[in-house]
Amino acid sequence: MRSAFLDGVRGIEITRFTSKDVVRHPLVARIVDAYEEAAKQDELAAKAQKRGERMSEPAVSFSFQNAAAFPAAASRSVMIRWMTRACELPTMMTVRFVDQEEGYELNHSYRHRDYATNVLTFNYTTEPEVTADVAICVPVVEREAAEQNKEFRAHLAHLLIHAVLHAHGYDHVTQEEAEVMEARETELMLSLKFPNPYSDRIGMVHD
């Protein structure tokens, strides 16, 4: 209330009235009651909204395999922060860092491609909880970052976000799908203070 600004000012006394203080006309009392009830409802609605916002944050669980073999990779806590930013639903995900040989074997076995790719996402469920496994081929990520003149951490963050979005059902098979997915990736990367991965179109992810 505006009168709160005058509390404590020397020479000014403030008296607050409720409907009980109105004796002249019952209509005025009902009007005061209506205002008081509306204020209470607004306060309750604000508290409920805050509770809902806290509850709407998805629960996430990430585990990492073989990360110690690749010291260039970011710390677990940092990678969790990157990936959590991309989560829209409760998520349980395992990320495995692999070398060139294992990356080739995985890509050949599951996608029948004769090369190691940068990231592979194996998503199992999308509702009510996202569950997936992700393989990151570190030598490929390092090579791509050098070829594209990008910071390794930025390229790794992009690929992890890309994998999380794939697990959530995003795809880039069609042009329309690609535009939606790339726009979301760009939004998330910028929110993490990384540059737009598609600014020069070299950063397209080939998973």
Which position has the higher pLDDT, 117 or 26? 117
Q: Is the pLDDT of residue 6 over 50?
A: yes
Each residue of 46-82: pLDDT tens digit? Answer: 554 554 444 457 899 999 999 888 877 789 999 999 9
Task: Tell me, rounded to whole angstroms, the distance of Cα 158 from its chain centroid.
Answer: 13
Output the six-digit token pair for 36: 């008081």
**What angle separates helix 152-167 from helix 138-147, to the nearest 10 degrees?**
120
Task: Tell me, rounded to whole angstroms, the distance of Cα 69 from its chain centroid.
Answer: 28
Q: Please give the backbone phi and psi of residue 136, each rounded to the nearest 5 degrees, phi first.
A: -110, 120
User: For the whole model, what pTM was predicted?
Assistant: 0.71
What pLDDT sits at residue 41? 63
Each residue of 85-126: pLDDT tens digit? Answer: 999 999 999 999 999 999 999 999 999 999 999 999 999 999
Q: How confident is the model at residue 177 (pLDDT cuts 50, 70, 90)?
A: very high
